Amino acid sequence: MTTRPDDAIGDWLDAEGAGADDRAEAALTRALAGLGRRGPREGFADRVLLAAGVLEPAHPARWPATVRVALAACLLVAGVAFANLPVLVAAFAPVVRALGLSTIVPALHWLAHAMGAAFASWTFVEEVASALRASLASAAVVMVLAANLLVATASLIALKRLLNPPEELLPW
C-alpha cells in the first residue's frame, strides 16, 4: 500500500494503461483519499459573478452628504435646546407669574386646539391621497394620463414652433 499521492497516481495511470479497471479504481481511491476534503474559500461565488460581469461590486451604504449635514444640524439644535432648557424655564417663570395662570392656561388650551385642527387637516390630505392612489391603480386612468401627457408635449412643441420669429423658420 502506498502512502504518497504521487505513487498512488502513478499506480492508477499504470493500471489504466494496462486495462486493469479494478486495480485502477483502487489506486484512484487511494490517491483521492490522500487529498482530503476541500471547499472553495469564502466569497467564491461572489468573485466568480464579479469576474463574469453579472454582479456589481457592493458599495457600503452611506447617506448623501446633505442628509448627514441635516441630521448633524438637527442633533446640534436639539442638544443646544436641551442644554438651555433650565435657562428657558428660569426666563419664563417671571412671565408666568406676571401674567398669571388665568392667562397662560387659556393660551395653552388654544394652542392644543390649533394643533388638533392641524392634525385634522392632515387626515383630510391622507384621505385625498388614498383616493388618488385608488384611482391611479386602474390601467384605464394611467392610459388617459399618458395620452394627456403626449397631447401636452405635442402642443408645447407646436406652440414653440409658432412662437419662433419668421426669420428663424427659413432654412437658409
* pLDDT tens digits, 46-68: 888 888 887 777 777 788 889 99
Three-class SS state of 116? helix
**What's the pTM value of the predicted model, to 2 decimals?**
0.27
Look-up: residue for cell 435646546? 81
Is the CB of residue 41 less than 8 Å from the CB of residue 53? no
Q: Which of 40, 41, 36, 32 is nearest to 12 (CA)?
A: 32
Looking at residue 2, its pLDDT comes to 44
Predicted pLDDT at 12: 84
Q: Assign residue 36 a region: left if phi > 0, alpha if psi is -120 to 50, beta otherwise?
A: left
Per-residue confidence band for 144, with pLDDT thresholds at 50, 70 and 90: very high
Domain extents in the chain:
5-52, 84-169
For CA atoms 94, 95, 96, 98, the dihedral sign is positive
Please state, in angstroms and rounded to a whole number, the distance separating the CA atoms of residues 123 and 118: 9
Report which of residues 41 and 155 the model is more confident about: 155
- pLDDT reported for residue 78: 94
Q: How far is Cα 61 from Cα 133, in angstroms, rounded to an integer?
A: 31
Q: Which amino acid is residue 80, in one-letter code?
A: V
Say what the pLDDT of residue 166 is. Answer: 65
Cα separation, 160 vs 154, in Å, equals: 10
pLDDT per residue over 95-128, tens digit each? 878 888 788 888 888 989 999 988 888 888 898 9
Neighbours of 9 (CB within 10 A): 17
For residue 130, give the DSSP letter.
H
